[in-house]
Chains A and B, each alone.
Chain A
Amino acid sequence: MPRTPAPGGALLPATAGVASGIALVLALLVAPEDAVQGPAQRLMYVHVPAAWVAYLAFATVLVCSVAYLVRRDLRFDRCAQAAAELGVGLTALAIGLGMLWGRPVWGVWWTWDARLVTTTVLLLVYVAYLGVRRMADDPHVAARRSAAVGVVAFLNVPVVHFSVVWWRTLHQPPTVLGPDGSPPIDPVMAWALAAGVVAFTLLAVLVVRRRVAGLRAAGSGTAAVLPADGAAPVITVVPGGGR
């Protein structure tokens, strides 16, 4: 059976691959080692992009949820689901890398810090969002419920981002997007971080597009059966297919 061409052709995967390579070189070889934290600081080049792109993914969930509620088009619902799955994965990655970094730098795997707690709450909320999607068999009912939860769930994102500003926390305040707008970071480190964000964003777009294509194929309810020699293809239609 011929493979379905990847959405966006080969340009996006190639660009994401090149950006990832550049980010890797900048993070591991070019950027200077932190004078205080040592090599553990290099985890920041993955930890921070993972967290930022997770925010972006959850913002996508919000936009797609609102779009679904307005347009009632399952394409938006599939986009919301794919973005939520990616956001959950990246948030878990950010928490895990933060724990790996926290052990040598803070001396503990975990502490009851506002940023850590609110990020974990964010993760739990979107795990529950994905659970809500399974509560109904009808795709439009599931889409409507999850869209409502997707709108409510996004309220956690600004709480997470500003937690280090609103509360006195162990976690460092925003390094690049600080309230005063001046990044207190070495320029080479900033470039490595920016390259990581670009690479993660491109990879995220790639993953979401592929996931949306997969969900569309699964939800379309059509399963093509390979025909016998010269015969017409047999199409099985499953009720409840997507739009």
Chain B
Amino acid sequence: MSGRGAGRQALPAGTLGTVAVLVRRDARVALGGVDGFASVLPFVAAGVVLGGLVLGPDPAALRTAAPGLVWLLVLTAAVPLARVVAAAERDEDSWDLLRGLVPPGVLLLAKAAVLWAALAVTWGTGTVLAVLLLDGAVPVAGFAAALLGLVGVAASTTVFGALLAASARGAGLLAALVLPAGLPALLAGTQAGTAADPLPWLALLVAYDLVAGATAWAVFPFLLEE
């Protein structure tokens, strides 16, 4: 895999430098590995196409359902993307080494940043397809909701990804944890893109980000101990 060599380079001093190295490394893994976009983006495309088929040919119904369908697909895609959190380290058996070298907060920040970017690209792809195929519209508030809501989803998904990093068992549980954790983003993200007054929904997303981020920051170190 193309990103493997980056794991062996020395970590620079300073939080931002360390985050940058980890983000570059994980981004290469996500782009190059079969667990990353290679599998997620076709899944999103299939979801939009089949969603349109299920919802029927009525353009008004398709237009109404499009934002929610995209958010649902993004949350569903977060389940396989969570495996990316520690995919390279698991393959290289370097998770223990990384935990020893990088403080938990920095590791969380780097992993969540990569996941946020991956989810944002997934949302963007789904939205473009929804606009083209379902006649959906994306107001500015919809973009803002995506940028905000995916922060909380990325934080929660990073925690659950780390939970599975040290164990091959329990992967099936991931969906039952990741999908409910993204419920506020699913609801507020959909409503912000369709409601006449999106501000309350954007405020809810900010609150969700704060709570999800603080909780992830609090529990993440405990998941790195083993």
Contact = CB atoms under 8 A, between A and B. Distances in A.
A and B form one complex: yes
Interface of A: 69, 118, 121-122, 124-125, 127-128, 131-132, 134-136, 141, 144-145, 147-149, 151-152, 155-156, 159
A155 B215 CA distance: 9
Interface string B183-226: 11000000000000000000000000001100110111011011
Interface stretch (B59-67, B72-80, B109-117, B169-177): B169-177
Contacts of A156: 180, 183
Contact of A125 (B167, B177, B218, B226): B177
Contacts of A149: 163, 177
Nearest to B156: A152
A152 B184 contact: no
Interface residues of B, number: 24
Contacts of B183: 118, 121, 156, 159
B150 interface: no
A118 B212 CA distance: 17
B119 interface: no
Contacts of A127: 176
Given A151-B215, A155-B211, A159-B183, A131 B170 contact: yes
A134 B170 contact: yes
B44 interface: no
Nearest to A145: B163
Contact of B180 (A124, A134, A147): A124
A59 to B, nearest CB: 15
A69 B222 contact: yes
A128 B180 CA distance: 11
A127 B181 CA distance: 14
20 contacts: A121-B183, A125-B176, A125-B177, A132-B177, A134-B170, A135-B170, A141-B226, A144-B222, A144-B226, A145-B163, A145-B223, A147-B219, A147-B222, A148-B159, A152-B177, A152-B215, A152-B219, A155-B181, A155-B212, A156-B183
Nearest to B204: A166
B159 A121 contact: no
From A121, A127, A135, name the one whose CB has the most chain B CB atoms within 10 angstroms: A135
Interface residues of B, dominant DSSP: helix
Nearest to A114: B187
A188 to B, nearest CB: 38
A158 B204 CA distance: 14
Nearest to B163: A145
Contact of B159 (A122, A135, A136, A152): A152
Interface in B107-164: 156, 159, 163
B170 A148 contact: no
Given A128-B177, A159-B184, A144 B156 contact: no
A160 to B, nearest CB: 11
A69 B215 CA distance: 14
Contacts of A147: 219, 222
Given A125-B176, A134-B170, A144-B226, A151 B163 contact: no
A152 B155 CA distance: 11
B219 A148 contact: yes
A91 to B, nearest CB: 13
